[in-house]
């Protein structure tokens, strides 16, 4: 099932806050009829985006702003939300 960019951003933000269960619930709310296992797999696919390890590496190297810009570029998160996401890495 496809999700709109806002829903993906909401799920990404929840994952950054280490709230995977809530992220799965958001996915299920937007995709009624999907199994819990399928929702979990979809959320894990969002979590494993190719830019995520790069953002983590940038943060670890003291480049949090660059990491936030990377997240902002690849998601529909605002810069403020992207910074919050990076802070949670």
DSSP states along 29-64: HHSTT--HHHHHHHHHHHHT-THHHHHHHHHHTT-H
pLDDT tens for the 89 residues of the chain, in order = 567 777 887 888 888 788 999 999 999 999 989 999 999 998 998 888 777 778 878 888 899 999 999 988 887 778 988 888 888 76
Burial classification of residue 89, based on how many CB atoms lie within 10 Å of its CB (0-12 exposed, 13-18 middle, 19 or more buried): middle
Distance between CA 51 and CA 27 in Å, rounded?
A: 21
Provide the whole-model pTM. 0.64
Report which of 41, 69, 43, 44 is spatially closest to residue 54, judged by C-alpha positions. Answer: 69
């Amino acid at each position: 099932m496809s999700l709109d960019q806002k829903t993906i951003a909401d799920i990404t933000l929840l994952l950054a806050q280490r709230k995977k269960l809530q992220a799965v619930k958001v996915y299920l709310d937007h995709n009624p009829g999907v199994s819990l296992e399928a929702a979990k797999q979809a959320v894990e696919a969002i979590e494993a985006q190719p830019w995520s390890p790069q953002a983590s590496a940038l943060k670890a190297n003291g480049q949090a702003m660059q990491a936030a810009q990377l997240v902002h570029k690849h998601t529909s998160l605002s810069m403020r939300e992207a910074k919050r996401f990076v802070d949670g890495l």
